[in-house]
Amino acid sequence: MNDKQNKEITSRDKDFAKWYTDIVRVAHLASYSNTKGCTVFEPNGYAIWEKMQSILDQKFKETGHVNVYMPLLIPENLLRKEGELVEGFAPEVAWVTEGGTKKLEERLCIRPTSETLFSDYYASTISSYRDLPKLYNQWCNVLRWEKETRPFLRSREFLWQEGHTIHESKAEAEAETLRMLNIYNDFFHEYLAIPSIVGKKTEKEKFAGAEYTYTVEALMYNGVALQSGTSHYFGQKFSKAYDIKYLNRENKYDYPYQTSWGVTTRMIGALIMVHSDDYGLVLPPKIAPKKVVIIPIGEDLEVLSLAHDYLEKLNASGIESYIDNSDKSPGFKFAEAEVNGIPVRIEIGKRDLEKGIITLARRDTREKSEVFINTDIVKDVSILLEDIQRDMYDRALRRREEMTYTVTDLEQFKDIINTHPGFVKAMWCGDSKCEEKIKEIRGCKSRCIPFEEEKVDDKCIVCGKPAKELVIWGIQY
């Protein structure tokens, strides 16, 4: 194909924001609803979330976690027990004040997150070290009263999982915080083909109520950063605020240590902004709900029979495939499969069949190759899917590296952020006043203090005082 792009999609390099919403629309991932700030997750979008859920849920269970479900509504007095959390979330919650035709005596908040409910539950069910640890997770909807919303990236209601664990010792809780961060990071690398970076949030950027927050940060095609998953260590903050006391091994009362960690439907936004192009959605095979589309060209019986033969073989081997035998034209079907991000397309035409060949097209590079009809289709497709998965990661990594800058001079910092943003590595003294100064540059924030320590200068890029650590900075969604 020589066409430069799908006509319904704005060019990514021309107007990234418009390109993004075009992809969401034409790939039928989500649509705006008449509930302000809330989106409808359409079948194609929700199927990606289901795939994410099934992979992560298995990883959580393999590491000993079990699922539970806490109420949607939190009584105001319960929410107010932990001061920092309330302060962080109070400006962005929705309140239920009427129920069953009556005004309520106490307002109920729709959960923006569930630390309060889990802590309240732990307080009533944990009494001995024998009850510890509890490794709980919950898949649910949450609500935050955002002003500006964009599908998947920021919306009033979103879907997520929130893990909430409670432990006897500090060491165990800290290990859990790190373990779950690593599960997220592996998931980004292995499944989403996104070369994320892990590190610790600064005091200013950590979760309200946490002692510290670990984060998974990813860089989008346009150089904007996306916080893509977080894991919080709470120490005894919540156990003290909610009076979760237990008898320890020395038969003395003690407060346990807690963590929480979560990823959201925002990951779908990350997938789009890292991988997709002007032809539509591009999905890494391991997260694509449908991996292969088979398109028979014409109504020839031999063609259809081969299509069904391939379909059966691919599905039987666990490669989710389907045939598009609608009455649309082949060109239309090709374009639709591209827009929807189906990783591999198999084209079977009568004339090619006479030559004994069929065509495999990969979505990521749009390259086509011909193979003999009597090929081992499962093997060919499997290899191709692996290639796509690896190549997508490699390309994303190269782009991230190209868009990662190391600077020791504030003017240079400003220049980069103002002209071609990305991850900017620069030294920091640890003072939040210097963080504030950086924020004046297009709202640029500290993304994280990366686990991979690095020293590029002796002094803080803002104040020139001795530097404490290297920080990765960036503009964020």
CB of 473 to its own copies, least distance (A): 28
In angstroms, the CA 143 to CA 231 distance is 19
In the complex, minimum distance from the CB of residue 90 to its own copies, in angstroms, rounded to a whole number: 8
Q: How far is the CB of 168 from its own copies (least distance, A)?
A: 16
Q: How far is the CB of 36 from its own copies (least distance, A)?
A: 8
275: which residues sit within 8 A by CB, 6+ positions away? 193, 282, 283, 284, 364, 392, 396
The smaller minimum CB distance to its own copies, of residues 139 and 212, is found at: 139
Minimum separation from the CB atom of position 271 to its own copies (A): 17
Q: By C-beta, is 96 or 456 nearer to its own copies?
A: 96
Q: Which is nearer to its own copies, 95 or 372 (CB)?
A: 95
Q: Is the alpha carbon torsion for 436, 442, 443, 446 positive or negative?
A: negative
Q: Which is nearer to its own copies, 138 or 227 (CB)?
A: 138
Site residues (vs its own copies, CB under 8 A): 31, 33-36, 38-43, 46-47, 49-50, 66-75, 78, 90-101, 107-108, 110, 117, 120-121, 124-125, 136, 140-141, 143, 145, 147, 156-157, 159
CB-wise, 208 or 463, nearer to its own copies? 208
- The contacts of residue 15 (CB under 8 Å, 6+ apart) are none
204 close to 215: Cβ distance less than 8 angstroms: no
Report the nearest approach of its own copies to the CB of residue 154 (Å): 13
- The answer to whether residues 458 and 466 touch, using CB atoms and an 8 Å cutoff, is yes
Contacts 24+ apart (CB under 8 A), 29-34: 29/151, 29/152, 29/268, 29/272, 29/281, 30/151, 30/152, 32/151
Q: In whole angstroms, how close is the CB of 32 to its own copies at the nearest point? A: 9
Cis link prior to 133 (omega < 30° from 0)?
yes
The closest alpha carbon to 209, from 229, 243, 231, 232, belongs to 232
Instruction: Identify the burial level of 383 via C-beta atoms within 10 angstroms of its C-beta, where 0-12 means exposed, 13-18 middle and 19 or more buried.
Output: exposed
Between 108 and 226, CB nearer to its own copies = 108
In the complex with its own copies, which residue's Cβ is closer, 101 or 251? Answer: 101
> For strand 246-247 and strand 253-254, is the pairing parallel, antiparallel, or unpaired?
antiparallel
- Considering the complex, what minimum distance in angstroms separates the CB of residue 150 from its own copies? 15
Q: Would you say 68 or 247 has its CB closer to its own copies?
A: 68
Could you write out the DSSP letters of every residue in 227-277?
Answer: EEEEEEEEETHHHHHTT--EE-TTS-EE--EEEEEEEETHHHHHHHHHH-B
Bridging pattern class, strands 197-200 and 469-474 = unpaired
**Residue 95 is encoded by which pair of tokens?**
């309140």
**329 CB burial (10 A radius; 0-12, 13-18, 19+):** exposed
For its own copies, give the closer residue by CB, 147 or 433: 147
Task: Decide if 310 contacts 374 (C-beta within 8 A).
Answer: no
Say how far apart CA 212 and CA 382 lie, in whole Å. Answer: 42
- Min dist CB 136 to its own copies, Å, is 7
Q: At its nearest, how many Å lie between its own copies and the CB of residue 35?
A: 4
Minimum CB distance to its own copies, residue 49 (Å): 8
427, 444, 449 from 453: Cα distances, Å: 11, 21, 8
* Nearer residue to its own copies within complex by CB, 157 or 176: 157
By C-alpha distance, which of 94, 86, 87, 91 is closest to 110? 94
Nearer to its own copies by Cβ, of 71 and 464: the residue is 71
- Cα–Cα distance, 423 to 436 (Å, whole number): 17
Q: Which is nearer to its own copies, 101 or 419 (CB)?
A: 101
Q: Least separation, in Å, of the C-beta of 209 and its own copies?
A: 19
